[in-house]
Chain A
Amino acid sequence: MKIVLKAGGMLADYLKPDPVTHAREVEAGEGQTLRQILESIGVPPGHVAMAFVDSNIVHLLYVPKEGEVVTLRPPVQGG
């Protein structure tokens, strides 16, 4: 199945999304957690401060659904 990951800042250097939409479509296995998906495409989960689906916080154990847009954000500068 396909999901869309979005990221900017430091995470974009790992994810390599479209520079305008910040999005990249990726292939994910059924039942894979977000952590597993990120590891499979070379995005270090340690750099993901949190993820959002429909503007709600999800965690790295979240299992995305087909077509879902997951926004990732890095823990950039610590407030």
Chain B
Amino acid sequence: MGDALATQREGTMLKGFGGSSLRVNLRTGQVQRRPLDPAFARAWLGGRGYVCKVLYDEVPRDADPLGPLNRLVVSPGVMSGNFGPTGSKCCFGAVSPLTGAHGDSTVGGHFGPELKFAGYDLIVFEEIAQGPVYLFVDDDRVELRDASKYWGKGTIEAEEMLKHDLGEDFEIAAIGPAGESMVTFACIGHDFGRQAGRCGVGAVMGSKRLKAIAVRGTRSVPIHDLPGLKELTMGVIKRTSTHPNMAPWQKFGTAMFVGWSNEHGVYPTHNFQTTYFEPYAGIDGQPLVDKLLVSNKACSGCWMNCGKYARVTLPEKPTIHVEGPEYETGSLCGGNCGFDKIEEVAYVNWVCDQTGIDTMSGGGFVAFGMECYEKGFITREQLEGHELRWGSVDDFEHFVDMIVHRRGIGDWFARGIVYAAGQIGHDSIRFTAQVKGQGMSGYDGRGAPAMLLSYMTADIGAHHNRSWTITMDEDLGKAVIKGKAKVVVYLQHIRPFFDVVSCCRLFWGEVDVTVEEHIEAIRLMTGWSDFTLEEAMRLSDRLWNLNRAHFLERNGGPGRKHDYPPARFYEEAVPSGPGKGARLTMEDLDVMLDEYYAARGWSRDGNPSREILEDLGLPETATRLETLDLLGPLMAPLPEVRGERYKPKAF
């Protein structure tokens, strides 16, 4: 294969890119390598951009997410592997078995850069292999190999074995037993504790019988202006090293947000029943560092090292090592499941990582099971004689085992929380913490309406990485409903942009590296001297509309009906803690949705209009929607600028 691929290498030598894409047919075993088309590269930039485009163009509308016609798409974007601030990411995407439409999830670590060093910007997996395989990539040598000996192994164990067999310098992305059994919230693990966690991308990988991807790259990525890029990046490193946020960030990572979230009445507790977890001090960043920390851990080229590698010893459990828990795990697998000791949270974090389930959806879905058990909707008999109590590590571990191996009611949960609620009955759907089937991130939106709107409207379901607004909700007032939607739109363009170019958005968020500096870095990498922030944001807008169209085409319309959260989030008031009394109504949600759709140039029904799609260069998408009667009329004049940057009052 290597020689054939080498001769196919046409050497366009696009600056900033690996230069090639791979298309792998898992059924036939055929691997095709193509040079990256420069026009495609500029139009979609990579990462999430390529993923969106490939999924929209290639996956038929009625294709089963776990069937042969779905694609698994892997792409490190333009900044990945380049000496910028900081290109460590890689995007995995597929039509999601959780939401039924476009799904993507970005992982840090070293996998994306390694793919770029091997010369690849995009891998598209098609069809289903006859038996377990893994993709071996060693620069130009690319082959599918038998993965029988790794099948059935935990994610971390499989990574260890592959590194042992191939060499330490291979970077591995692998699934665990949950991915193999197509649990709809299975993740893809990498670097012993980092995950492309959301949207069930691991389930799609498992459905294709693809256990792992192993890659080694020994080339460098061609850079247009290396001295200029070096100067910019060194300046950023120097400046941010003394930033006041840097030292706490390096010491605690995101785990330090547990206390803040709790004090501000947004911390999900006992399946989002309330927003205050009294014993939170036991699972905050401080005990993580004081009791469990082995070392800090960083992604490729990162000087912020937010990863916390921990060693955990619990009575009657094996001693384990785990990266984390970071904030999302510390909330959804923390107070949300009733765990009040950092050792417990870290241990269940490891259970999720090893079996290969997303700690966010996993923690949220198990917490839902715990509330059902508490209410008597799930019986001990259904739990194989076990219980499912708040704060019980044994119960959590046993229930996850039922899910991963699809035993009894474990199979209901493996299919997703909406399916499980349907089987459990008792109107339990009303207290599922999800939108569009995707489990909510670790913030309760009742105390932060714009955050709830962010969940409601996110293209992949209730995930915070698209828009996070709690600072604004605090600043403008937690009870304020109007005037926030435009900011949600702005954030939905800026935050996922980092997943397009595959760099870590935390530098922007935490230590004031500006978006303009990222844009300048891309200019220096690629030589696109006319590349602007406006072009970048326009791409983000285009991707958002493309994903909305994708969602509607696959799930039907009108869009609005998919955008409401379960009843708990607009009927129940928060019962305790600093957020006590926070409550939203259906009318509040409608006000926010109306504002949001107008800001996007969509119809009152939440369907994109022809005007917006044509404005974004997507006329074929407008026609596709029109054919399905899913195109909406504009409800207000097309906004020239979609979204509005939020400036705190003090500005």
Contact = CB atoms under 8 A, between A and B. Distances in A.
Contacts of A9: 245, 510-512
Interface in B292-327: 326-327
Contact of A7 (B244, B260, B285): B244
Nearest to A46: B474
A46 B326 CA distance: 22
Contacts of B474: 44, 46-47
Interface string A17-54: 00000100000000000000000000010110110100
Interface in A1-27: 6-10, 13-14, 22
A20 to B, nearest CB: 8
The bracket for how many chain B residues form the interface is 35 or more
Contacts of A46: 264, 474-475
A75 B468 CA distance: 10
B248 A79 contact: no
Nearest to B468: A78
A70 B282 CA distance: 23
B326 A50 contact: no
B398 to A, nearest CB: 29
Contact of A59 (B259, B495, B505, B648): B259
A11 to B, nearest CB: 8
B525 to A, nearest CB: 24
Interface string B234-249: 0000000011110111
Nearest to B464: A78
Contact of B256 (A47, A57, A60): A57
B468 A49 contact: no
Nearest to A59: B259
Instruction: Describe B's contact surface by its main secondary structure.
Output: helix
Contact of B259 (A22, A57, A71): A57
A17 to B, nearest CB: 8
Contact of A8 (B243, B326, B443, B471): B243
A75 B512 contact: no
B509 interface: yes
B80 interface: no
A19 B244 CA distance: 11
B259 A73 contact: no
Given A13-B650, A79-B328, A50 B510 contact: no
Given A57-B286, A77-B510, A79-B327, A72 B244 contact: yes
B136 interface: no
B650 A14 contact: yes
Nearest to B473: A46
B648 A10 contact: yes
Contacts of A77: 468, 495, 505-506, 508-510
B471 A22 contact: no
Given A47-B471, A52-B247, A75 B648 contact: no
B244 A73 contact: yes
B123 interface: no
Q: Which residue of A47, A60, A75 has the most chain B CB atoms within 10 A of its CB atom?
A: A75
Contact of A73 (B248, B468, B475, B506): B248
B419 interface: no
Interface string B491-503: 0000100000000
Interface in B603-643: none
Contact of A75 (B260, B650, B651): B260
Contacts of B328: 79
Interface of B: 242-245, 247-249, 251-252, 254, 256-257, 259-260, 263-264, 284-286, 326-328, 443, 464, 468, 470-471, 474-475, 495, 505-506, 508-512, 648, 650-651
21 contacts: A9-B245, A10-B471, A44-B475, A47-B474, A49-B257, A50-B248, A57-B248, A57-B256, A59-B259, A73-B244, A75-B257, A76-B509, A76-B510, A77-B468, A77-B506, A78-B468, A78-B470, A79-B327, A79-B464, A79-B468, A79-B506
6 nearest A-B pairs in the assembled complex, by CB-CB distance: A77-B509, A78-B468, A49-B260, A46-B474, A79-B254, A6-B244
Given A75-B264, A77-B508, 7 more contacts: A6-B244, A52-B248, A71-B248, A73-B244, A74-B471, A75-B257, A79-B254
